[in-house]
Chains A and B, each alone.
Chain A
Amino acid sequence: MADEQKQVQAALAEAPRGEGHGQGGYGGLRREGGREGGGRREGGPGGGPGGARRGKRQYFRKKKVCKFCVEKMDLIDYKRADILSQFVQERGKILPRRMTGVCARHQRWLGVAIKRARNIALLPFAGSAAGATAPKVVEAHKS
Chain B
Amino acid sequence: MEERLYDLIFIARPATPEDEIKKVIHSIEHACTEKGGKIEKSEHWGTRKLAYRVAKHREGMYYYHQIRTGHGELIAELERRLHVQDSVIKYLTIRLDEDLKRQKKLGEKREKRAARRPRRPAATPAQPAEQQQASAD
* Interfacial residues, chain A to chain B (CB-CB below 8 A): 70, 72, 74-75, 78-79, 116, 118-125, 127, 129, 131-133, 135-143
How many angstroms between the C-alpha atoms of A124 and B54 in the bound complex? 11
Verify A135–B62 contact, CB threshold 8 A.
yes
Name which of B80-88, B101-109, B120-128 contacts chain A: B101-109
Q: Does B12 contact A (CB under 8 A)?
A: no
How far apart are B3's CB and chain A's nearest CB, in angstroms?
17
A60 to chain B, nearest CB (A): 25
Whether B9 lies near A120 (C-beta < 8 A) is yes
Determine the distance from Cα of A142 to Cα of B111 in the docked complex, in whole angstroms: 31
- CA gap between A74 and B40 in the complex, in Å: 22
Provide the B2-42 mask, 1 if CB < 8 A to any CB of A, else 0. 00000001010000000000000000010000000001111
A125 to B137, CA, bound (A): 35
Contacts of A135 in B (CB 8 A): 43, 45, 48, 62, 64
Flag if B107 contacts A121 (CB, 8 Å): no
Chain B interface size band reads 20 to 34
**Given A121-B51, A123-B51, A143-B39, A137-B44 contact (CB < 8 Å):** yes
Tell me which of A72, A127, A131 has the highest count of chain B C-beta atoms within 10 A of its own C-beta.
Answer: A72
Chain A residues lying within 8 Å of B99, measured Cβ to Cβ, are 75
Question: B48: nearest residue on chain A (CB-CB)?
Answer: A135
A74-B106 contact in complex given A119-B92, A120-B92, A121-B11, C-beta closer than 8 Å: yes
Chain B: CB-nearest residue to A131: B49
Q: Are A75 and B103 in contact (CB under 8 A)?
A: yes
Which residues of chain B have C-beta atoms less than 8 A from A143's C-beta?
A: 29, 39, 42
Closest chain B residue, CB of each to CB of A92: B51
**A interface, by DSSP: helix, strand, loop or mixed?**
loop
Question: B70 contacts the other chain (Cβ, under 8 Å)?
Answer: no
20 contacts between A and B (CB under 8 A): A70-B137, A72-B134, A74-B106, A75-B102, A75-B103, A78-B94, A79-B9, A116-B92, A119-B92, A120-B11, A120-B92, A121-B11, A121-B90, A122-B51, A124-B52, A125-B51, A137-B43, A141-B42, A142-B39, A143-B39
Q: Which residue from chain A places its CB closest to the CB of B94 in the assembled complex?
A: A116
Minimal Cβ-Cβ distance residue in A for B100: A75
B57 to chain A, nearest CB (A): 10
Cβ distance A80 to chain B, nearest Cβ, rounded Å: 12
Q: Which of A118, A120, A139 has the most CB of B within 10 A?
A: A120
Residues on A with C-beta less than 8 A from B46 are 136, 138
Contacts of A140 in B (CB 8 A): 41-44
